[in-house]
């Protein structure tokens, strides 16, 4: 399956073909897809598909990854069959919000050079957990650094390396609990100016200025060496 969002996170509509149907669970696989499958703390995309032969519109209520495939959860499978050509339409407002949040969390990694133990992306707030004690993170200092980066308007770019090469550069894997996604034996690196470089399969904005303004909502202690940083973004 070709993951179109890896090449263009801004792709809102696309055409594809149904290659498999799970009738019992109302799931389909597509030949190629722009729907992001839930993984790595980023929620899956929602939206619609339109069956081109009969113009039937069907809701995509969830998208998730499993065993190397991306599954699209439908509200109904009536009127569809394997081989149907479709038009996919992403719920763009939600996707774009996730893109800004995800990029903001990369920036947070850039200003806090510590191992990440967990995280979650949401529309209204997001978080990262760092392997750190309470004396290593200063809320006000982090917020100032983050918003200066936004104003400087750094570019977000992508590069691919072989998985074996990545294993020799483990500093590019920032999240301790999540294995980076592999596509044809390669892993995608996300680079934000000279701020952050790490393996990631998620969706991001093109420029840091698109994010808006980042607020550090609160910092929580989640263990002796686990600090949870919660953020909000304002357009």
Q: Residue 61 maps to which CATH number?
A: 2.40.30.130
Domain C-terminal end among 63, 90, 117:
90
Q: Both 108 and 197 in a single domain? A: yes
Interval 140-167 mean pLDDT = 92
Q: Cα–Cα distance between 177 and 58 in angstroms, integer?
A: 35
Tokens 């980023």: give the residue: 42
* Average pLDDT over all residues of the chain: 93
- Asked if 84 and 17 sit in the same domain, the reply is yes
Q: Give whole-number Cα distances, 192 to 109, 139, 153, 156, in Å.
A: 11, 22, 10, 5
pLDDT of 224 over the 70 cut: yes
6 and 114 within one domain: no
Please list, in sequence order, all residues whose beta carbon lies within 8 angstroms of the beta carbon of residue 116, skipping any fewer than 6 positions away: 109, 128, 129, 130, 131, 174, 175, 176
Q: What is the pLDDT of residue 50?
A: 98
Q: Are residues 106 and 207 in the same domain?
A: yes
Distance CA 221, CA 11 (A): 38
Q: Is residue 99 located within the same domain as residue 210?
A: yes
- Domain termination site, one of 90, 108, 130: 90
In the chain, alpha helices (H): 92-111, 139-152, 163-167
**Alpha carbons 19 and 95: distance in angstroms, whole number:** 24
Count the residues in the chain.
Answer: 235
Which of the two residues, 33 and 184, has the higher pLDDT score?
33
What residue numbers bound the domain in which 73 lies?
2-90
CA distances from 227 to 124, 134, 147, 222 (A): 20, 7, 21, 6
- The whole-number pLDDT of residue 45 equals 98
Looking at residue 133, its pLDDT comes to 75
**pLDDT tens for each residue of 81-106:** 999 999 999 999 999 999 999 999 99
Q: Which of 64, 90, 116 is the last residue of a domain?
A: 90
The answer to which of 47-61, 170-184, 199-213 has the lowest mean pLDDT is 170-184
- Total domains in the fold of the chain: 2
Strands (E), the chain: 2-3, 13-22, 27-30, 32-33, 47-51, 56-66, 69-74, 85-90, 116-120, 126-130, 156-162, 186-192, 196-199, 213-221, 227-234
Give the tokens for residue 187: 């892993």
Query: Is the pLDDT confidence value at 195 over 90?
Result: yes
The pLDDT, as a whole number, for residue 92 is 98
| Residues 169 and 133 occupy one common structural domain | yes
> Looking at the structure, do residues 192 and 153 belong to the same domain, yes or no?
yes
Per-residue model confidence as pLDDT tens digits over 116-144:
989 999 999 999 999 987 677 889 999 99
| Mean pLDDT to the nearest integer, 152-164 | 94
Could you please report the per-residue DSSP string of 132-163? --TTS--HHHHHHHHHHHHHHT-BEEEEEEEH
Smallest Cα–Cα separation from 33: which of 119, 101, 95?
Answer: 95
Sign, Cα dihedral of 9, 126, 68, 185: positive
Q: What is the pTM of this model?
A: 0.94
CATH code of the domain containing 152: 3.30.980.10
For 67: left if phi > 0, alpha if psi spans -120 to 50, otherwise beta; the answer is left
Average pLDDT over residues 5-22: 97
């Amino acid at each position: 399956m070709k993951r179109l969002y890896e090449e263009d996170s801004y792709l809102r509509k696309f055409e594809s073909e149904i290659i498999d149907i799970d009738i019992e669970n109302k799931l389909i696989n597509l030949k190629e897809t722009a729907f992001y499958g839930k993984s790595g703390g980023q929620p899956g995309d929602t939206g619609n598909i339109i069956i081109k032969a009969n113009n039937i519109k069907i809701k995509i209520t969830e998208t998730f990854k499993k065993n190397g495939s991306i599954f699209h959860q439908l509200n109904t499978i009536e009127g569809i069959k394997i081989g149907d050509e479709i038009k996919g339409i992403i719920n763009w407002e939600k996707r774009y919000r996730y893109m800004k949040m995800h990029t903001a969390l990369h920036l947070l990694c850039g200003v806090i050079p510590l191992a990440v133990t967990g995280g979650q992306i949401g529309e209204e707030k997001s978080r990262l957990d760092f392997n750190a004690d309470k004396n290593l993170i200063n809320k006000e200092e982090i917020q100032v650094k983050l918003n200066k980066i936004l104003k400087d308007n750094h570019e977000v770019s992508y590069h691919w390396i072989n998985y074996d090469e990545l294993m020799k550069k483990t500093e590019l894997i920032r999240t301790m609990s999540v294995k980076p996604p592999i596509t044809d034996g390669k892993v995608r690196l996300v680079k934000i100016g000279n701020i952050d470089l790490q393996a990631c399969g998620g969706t991001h904005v093109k420029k840091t200025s698109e994010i808006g303004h980042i607020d550090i909502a609160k910092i929580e202690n989640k263990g002796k060496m686990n600090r949870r940083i919660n953020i909000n973004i304002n357009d």
